[in-house]
Structure 1
Amino acid sequence: MFDQKHYVPVLKWKRGEQIALKQLDASSRESLTPLIELVPVPYDYVNERPAKSIDDHLNGIGEELLNAWGEKRPVFIDPYWIDQSERMSNGLHPFYFILEDIRRNKMKAIPVTGTSRDKDYQQEVIKAHKKDGLGVCLRLEDEDFLDVKGAIIDLIKLLKVTPAETDIIIDLRSISTNDDSKNAIFALTLLKDLPSIMDWRTLTICASAFPETLSEIPANSIGIIPRSEWGVWKILKGKEHLFKRMPTFGDYAIAHPEYVDIDPRIMRMSGNIRYTTENSWLVVKGVQVKKNTWDQMHGLSAQLVNHPSFCGKGFSWGDEYVFNCSNRDCSSGNAETWRRVGTNHHLTYVTKQISNFFSS
C-alpha cells in the first residue's frame, strides 16, 4: 500500500484536526495515510456526567471523514479512547456502528487493533475484514515490546489474516527529547525481533516527543522543542543495513499521545502557536487567554512571520492563516483554530520533508 517514503500521522478526531486535513493540498494528501483516533464522549463538568450519549457522539462520523479526507484514499480507524464496555442504545458495538457509517459514505477504513482489545472488539475487526477485504492494522505498544514476535503471531492467528493483509505500526508513543540514540537502539531491537519483516503489507514506526503541557515555556517567549521522533527515524535510516526493511515514519503531529480532557473552569490556557521546523517545533507563547483574550494571536503571528523559520504565506493553508492574522486580515481565532493551523502546517511540512529526504 505504501513504503518508507510515505507518512502516517496519528490524529485525534476533533474539529481542529478535521479541518487541518480538509485544507491539505493534493500533494500532501497523496503522501500520507492518517491514523484516526476517535476521542471519548466529552464530559460535562458542571453537571458531572457525560455531555452526550455515545450515539450522539458517534453520529455522523462517516460524513465527517468524507468531508475531511474524501473517498479515494483509505484511513486507519481506531476508537482508541472509547471505553470497550460502551454500547450503542440498540446494543450494537460502537466499532460496528463506526464502520457501517463509514461504508455508507463510501469511504475505505482499515480497522486498527492491538493485544489489549477485548474479544468483542476483535470480532468486529474480523467481521470488517470479511466484509470489506481491506485487511487489518496491528498497533503494537507497551507490553507488546516484551515479546513482539509472540504478540503478532497470536493476533494474526486470532484475526485469521495473512501478513500481506496486515499493516504493522510499532507505536513508541511518548519518547524523551535529546535521547535519540537510546530510543533508536530500542527501536532497532524491536525491528530485528519482528517476524517475517518483509511480508507485512506496510510497516510504520510512530512516536512523539511533544510534551503534555507547555508549562516549561515561559510566557511571552519562543520555545524550542526537539522533534526527537524525527531524529530517531533518521538514525534508523542511517542503520538500514542492519535490518531488512526501513519503516515508514509516523508521529502525533503537534500533540502529545495521551488524550487529556480538562475541566474548562480550571484551565489556564495561554495563547500559543505550534510551528514545525526541520528538527524541532517552535512554540510562540503568549499569556493567559482568560485574562488577555485571543486578540494576542495577532501579535504572536507577527512574531512567527518575522522569524527566520517561517516558511512563507504560500507554504500551506496554515501558513497563510498565520500571515493573514499577523496583518489582522482574519480573526484571532481560538484554541481550535490554532490546532488546525499548526496541524495543517505540520502535515504539509513533514510530507515535503520526507520527499526531500529521499530526493536529496
Structure 2
Amino acid sequence: MAALPSYIPGLPVKDAALAGFQHVDIPDKMRVQPLWTIPPQGGQDDELAAYLRGKAQNLRDGPGLHPGWLDARNAEDALDLVVLHVWEEVCATLMGTELRPVTGPERDPAQQSAAAETAQQWGNGLGVRIRLGNAPDVDLPPRSRELLGRLRGHGLELDLLLDLYEVGSADNGMTRALSGWREFGALAGWRTVALLGGSFPWGAKQLKDHDLTVWPRLEWQVWEGVRDLLGDRGVCVAFGDYSTVHPRTGDAPPAQHPFIYEKPRYTTAEHFLIGKGKLRGSGEESRMQTLAARIVGDPEFRTSHSAGELWLQAQAAPDVTTNPGSPAVWVQKGHVQHITFLAGQMNEPDH
C-alpha cells in the first residue's frame, strides 16, 4: 500500500496533464497522488467506448501516473461503458492497479454500488468526492449518510475528498470547507482527508494584456487556515488543488476557443504569475520572450528547478529565436513546475 499523500493535484486525463505529471522527478512526487478526472465526450456508444478505453489505457500504461484516484463522473450516465472500458481496462495488468475508483453522494446508487464493488476487487480503497458548492445543499448530508450506509458492508478503506471546486474568496472557501467537515467528517473513519480547490482563472479576460498578472492562490490560503484549525483537533488534512488550470478543465466538454493568447504561467509561495501575450492568428509579434523574462526575473523564481523552469529560461533568453509553443505546451510546463514546487512546499517543516 502506497504512503498516504500530502498533495493531491486534480488533473484531467489530457495529454498536457499526463505529460506534465510524468516529467516531475520521481523523488518530488513520492507523496503526490493525483485525482484524475476523465473529461466529457459526446458521440454514440461505440465512440464513447473507444474514448473511455483510450483514457484508461493512457493512465494504465503511462509510467508514474499512479497511485491516485480515478473519477469517471462525466461518463457515468453510461455506467456499463465505464465499468467495462475504464475500470476493467485500468486493472487489466498482472500487477492490477494502484488507482482507486471514486464515488459521491450525488451519484446514482447503481454507480455507488459498482464503485464499491470495484474498490473491493482492487483492494486499494475508495474515494468519496463531495462537492461543496457556494450555496448549502440540504440534500447533501442525507445522501451522504445513505451512501456511507451502502458502503459499510464492503469493508473498504475510504478517502474523503472535500472539493471546493472554484475558490473565488478565501473567506467563503474557509466557511464552505469547515461546514463540510462538520457535516461529513464524522460519517466514517476516513483513511485520508483531503481539501481540494482551485482559483486559477478561466480564460484570459481577467488578465492584463501583454503583461504579467499576479493572481492569489486562494485555495492555498484556505487550506492553511483549515489545516491549522483542524490540526489542533488531531485531524490531518491533505492539500489538493487543480494545478495551473481552472477546475472546469476536467469537466468542460471539448470546445472551440476563438481567442487563444500566449499564456506562460508560474507558481510562487502565495501567487500564480500568469502572462497574457500574443493573440494567436492576430499577426502581431510574440510577447513570450518578454513575459518569460518577467517570470524568470521574479525574486521567487526557482532557477533550473524542473523542466518547467528550464523551458521558461530558454524562452526568456535574449537574442535567441525560440518557438513560443502551443497552449498544450504552456499547460504542460505549468503543471511540471507547479507540481514539483508543491511537492517541496508540502515537505517544508510547517506543513
TM-score > 0.5, shorter chain as reference: yes
RMSD (Å), alpha carbons: 2.8
Distance 1:107 1:195, change over 3 A: closer
Counterpart of 2:122 in structure 1 is 132
Give yes or no for contact 1:148–1:193 (8 Å, CA) kept in 2.
Answer: no
Give yes or no for contact 2:23–2:307 (8 Å, CA) kept in 1.
Answer: yes
Give yes or no for contact 1:304–1:310 (8 Å, CA) kept in 2.
Answer: yes
Q: Secondary structure at the match of 1:311?
A: coil
Given residue 265 of structure 2, which amino acid in structure 1 is its aligned partner?
R
> Structure 1 residue 28 and structure 2 residue 28: aligned?
yes
> Structure 1 residue 321 and structure 2 residue 311: aligned?
yes
Deviates more, 1:110-119 or 1:288-297: 288-297
Which sections of structure 1, spanning at least 5 residues, go unmatched? 44-48
Q: Distance in 2 between matches of 1:294 and 1:94?
A: 45
Given residue 210 of structure 2, which amino acid in structure 1 is its aligned partner?
N
Given residue 214 of structure 1, which amino acid in structure 2 is its aligned partner?
A
Question: Which of 253, 266, 269 pairs up with 1:278?
Answer: 269
Counterpart of 2:299 in structure 1 is 308
Question: Which of 237, 240, 243 pairs up with 2:230?
Answer: 240
Deviation at 1:40, TM superposition (A): 1.6
Question: Which of 52, 62, 68 pairs up with 1:58?
Answer: 52
Question: Which of 302, 324, 342 pairs up with 1:332?
Answer: 324
> Structure 1 residue 290 and structure 2 residue 281: aligned?
yes
Deviation at 1:29, TM superposition (A): 1.8
Question: Which of 71, 75, 86 pairs up with 1:98?
Answer: 86
Give yes or no for contact 1:61–1:101 (8 Å, CA) kept in 2.
Answer: no
Counterpart of 2:67 in structure 1 is 74
Distance 1:198 1:329, change over 3 A: farther
Give yes or no for contact 1:135–1:161 (8 Å, CA) kept in 2.
Answer: no
Give yes or no for contact 1:171–1:206 (8 Å, CA) kept in 2.
Answer: yes
Given residue 50 of structure 2, which amino acid in structure 1 is its aligned partner?
D
Counterpart of 2:175 in structure 1 is 185
Which sections of structure 2, spanning at least 5 residues, go unmatched? none
Q: Distance in 2 between matches of 1:152 and 1:222?
A: 43
Distance 1:145 1:64, change over 3 A: same
Deviation at 1:75, TM superposition (A): 1.7
Q: Distance in 1 between matches of 2:226 and 2:137?
A: 18
Deviates more, 1:102-111 or 1:228-237: 102-111
Question: Which of 200, 204, 218 pairs up with 1:214?
Answer: 204
Deviation at 1:59, TM superposition (A): 2.8
Given residue 288 of structure 2, which amino acid in structure 1 is its aligned partner?
M
Q: Distance in 2 between matches of 1:85 and 1:198?
A: 27
Counterpart of 1:350 in structure 2 is 342
Given residue 10 of structure 1, which amino acid in structure 2 is its aligned partner?
G
Distance 1:16 1:225, change over 3 A: same
Deviation at 1:335, TM superposition (A): 0.5
Q: Distance in 1 between matches of 2:316 and 2:287?
A: 10
Q: Distance in 2 between matches of 1:339 and 1:294?
A: 21
Given residue 166 of structure 2, which amino acid in structure 1 is its aligned partner?
S
Give yes or no for contact 2:113–2:150 (8 Å, CA) kept in 1.
Answer: no
Q: Distance in 1 between matches of 2:261 and 2:289?
A: 14
Q: Distance in 2 between matches of 1:139 and 1:33?
A: 15
Deviation at 1:242, TM superposition (A): 5.5
Q: Distance in 1 between matches of 2:19 and 2:328?
A: 10
Deviation at 1:188, TM superposition (A): 2.0
Counterpart of 2:98 in structure 1 is 108
Deviation at 1:251, TM superposition (A): 0.7
Distance 1:123 1:148, change over 3 A: closer
Post-superposition CA distance 1:163-190 (Å, at most 9, x none): 861111111111213xx23432332232
Distance 1:214 1:243, change over 3 A: farther
Distance 1:239 1:19, change over 3 A: same
Given residue 323 of structure 1, which amino acid in structure 2 is its aligned partner?
Q
Give yes or no for contact 1:62–1:104 (8 Å, CA) kept in 2.
Answer: no
Give yes or no for contact 1:301–1:322 (8 Å, CA) kept in 2.
Answer: yes
